[in-house]
Amino acid sequence: MNMNRRFFITLTGAAAVAWESVLAGAPEASPNYKVADHWWAMLIDVDKCIGCGNCVRACAAENNVPEGFFRTWVERYQVDDQHMEEPIVDSPNGGRDGFPARPGTLPASVKEFFVPKLCNHCADSPCTQVCPVGATFTTPDGVVLVDEKYCLGCRYCIQACPYGCRFIHPEKNVAQKCTLCYHRITKGLTTACCEACPTSSRMLADLKNPNDPIHEFMKKHSVQVLKPQMATGAKAFYANLDGAVR
């Protein structure tokens, strides 16, 4: 993988060692991170999202995301109780700059809310199944990654992803997407988007850690995934998700 100077600077210490092991195809070989002890996921509380765009900007800065492309983005929904099957959805610039207020006052039957989206890091991910060279793979700790050394830019994974979370880098001609900030979480840090969220709408979760707050949260709240009918084993869990969300 060709990495720029900024990326190397961010991969210091333990993270650099772990990432080198990942690129070598053996993340479990990292001497300072035990992949068998983790199974990563993301929990998103829709009610807490205010559409500020901090997460999108933080992701772009952390991962050097090219302008006009997004590893995570935020959508604004307007849902009329009388027409739930026809929500009005917008996401100007991926929500990176927040959302301009719509003119007028919403009718009592209409509700507005924000939904952050990202790679779902599926346990049974379609993208890994269609990649002809194994460039897209799942780490033993449950994170779906792309090895850019092998990626052909064939776009099969982009077509296979039901969540629309992948894109082709305009200069590298390789597939890119959310990595769940693997270079950070293997160092004991949270993701850039979670760190930047002012309302804790996003929470990194380790499903193998019995003390992770997600277990208590899921006991007390109704939690859903996007497009459950796809049976992908999505690990981006949503609390307070409206039925109109696509």
Q: What is the 3-state secondary structure (H, E, C) of 67-134?
A: CCCCCEEEEEEEEECCCCCCCEEECHHHHCCCCCCCCCCCCCCEEEEEEEEECCCCCCCHHHHHCCCC
Nearest to 143 by CA among 183, 172, 187: 183
Q: Please, are residues 50 and 68 in contact by the beta-carbon 8 Å criterion? A: no
Supply the CATH classification number for the domain 5-231: 3.30.70.20
The domains of the chain are located at 5-231
Q: What are the beta bridge partners of residue 44?
A: 202, 238
Q: What are the beta bridge partners of residue 73?
A: 117
pLDDT 10s digits, 155-165: 999 999 999 99
Q: Please, are residues 158 and 147 in contact by the beta-carbon 8 Å criterion? A: no
pLDDT under 50: residue ranges of the chain: 1-12
Q: What is the pLDDT of residue 7?
A: 40
Q: What is the pLDDT of residue 30?
A: 61
Centre a 10 Å sphere on the Cβ of residue 209 and count the other Cβ atoms it contains: 13
Centre a 10 Å sphere on the Cβ of residue 28 and count the other Cβ atoms it contains: 13
In percent, the amount of the chain with pLDDT more than 90 equals: 79
Spatial separation of the C-alpha atoms in residues 246 and 243, rounded to whole Å? 8
Mean pLDDT, the chain, whole residue set: 90
Q: Please, are residues 148 and 1 in contact by the beta-carbon 8 Å criterion? A: yes
pLDDT 10s digits, 116-144: 999 999 999 999 999 999 999 999 999 99
